[in-house]
Structure 1
Amino acid sequence: MTLLLVYKSLHVFFMIAWFAGIFYLPRLFVYHAMTEEKACSAMLKIMERRLLFFVTPFAILTAVFGVLTIAEYGREWFKHSMWLHYKLTLVILLYIYHGYCFKLLADFKHDRNQRSHKFYRWFNEFPVLLLLAIVLLAILKPAL
């Protein structure tokens, strides 16, 4: 067993754990945007905060093991793997998305949400589309 395979395995594991939360959090935002009950809103605030803070370390560890995997392959490989450059661009968008979830969390926490449940339904689809593109790039490794 090589270090490269350990890094890759941990990268995939933490990515799956991260996405479990990233897929569910906007769904909580949908429910939160729909509710007018104070008790329900209070419960959703707790759930949203706990979920986002629970999955954030997974996002960090995904990046750590992704960088270690790239380092293990080496600089020349990285330079010539253009598919990876596109993948990393999409990954950066995911981290921006993740960061924006903190802003939305704060808006709900302080009862400042201005968006409808329909916005959050669409917002929920964005990481799904990014993940599809990232997986296709990682598996197919097209010559771009």
Structure 2
Amino acid sequence: MNYYLFKTVKSFHIISVISWMAGMLYLPRIYSYHVKYDFSEIRSVFAIMERRLLYIILLPATVIAVCSGLVMGYATDAFYAIWFHIKMLFVFLMLVMTCFMVHFQRKFANNVNSHSALFYKIINELITLCMMIIVFVVVIKPFR
């Protein structure tokens, strides 16, 4: 792959991962506030915020991050490195969490949430932990 094309793909990857993680870190926090406040006006505002964050920022950023990451992995033969498989395990967990974010948003939209504010705060911390592991694995590249 051309050097400048690779750097362009990498730039899109970094930008989209930042956007994806921003959404993943903020959305559970909005969910926890949504649970806390029992006023219908505020809940409708939270529902709008959740939907927009999810469908305008988080999901498009996820698709771009995954696609650009796969292109870079293919271009660099990273698929053969053990560190890459560790990273992909945690990326898969992040994708599962992203699917849960969609599920939770639909529950809130239908007013059938069954989780506490603490549950969403714990989810937020798990997402942070996965993100940290991914960053350390990518930077350190253990088991080369």
Report the TM-score range of the alignment, normalised by the length of the smaller protein: over 0.9
Give yes or no for the alignment of 1:71 onto 2:74.
yes
Equivalences, count: 141
Separation (CA, whole Å) in 1 of partners of 2:74 and 2:6: 9
- 2:25 is aligned to 23
Other-structure match for 1:113 = 113
Aligned to 2:55: 53
How far apart in 1 are the matches of 2:119 and 2:131? 20
Structure 1 residues 95-127: Cα deviation after superposition (integer angstroms, max 9, x where no partner): 110011111011111111111111111111111
Shift of 1:17: 1.1
Aligned counterparts of 1:32 and 1:126: Cα–Cα separation in 2: 19
2:95 is matched with which residue? Answer: 95
Following the alignment from structure 1 to structure 2, what is the Cα–Cα distance between the partners of residues 9 and 38?
41
Q: Which runs of 5+ in 1 are unaligned?
A: none
Q: Specify the code of the residue in structure 1 equivalent to 2:52.
A: R
Partner Cα distance (2:133, 2:84) in 1: 12
Specify the alignment match of 2:141 in structure 1. Answer: 141
The SS at the match of 1:115 is coil
Identity %: 29
Deviation at 1:5, TM superposition (A): 2.0
Q: How many angstroms does 1:2 deviate by?
A: 3.1
Partner of 2:14: 12
Rounded Cα–Cα distance in structure 2 between residues aligned with 1:6 and 1:138: 19
Q: Distance in 2 between matches of 1:7 and 1:141?
A: 20
TM-score by structure 2 length? 0.93
What is the CA RMSD across the aligned residues, in angstroms? 1.2
Q: Which AA in structure 2 matches 1:13?
A: I
Q: Give the distance between the partners of 2:69 and 2:43, measured in 1 at CA.
A: 37
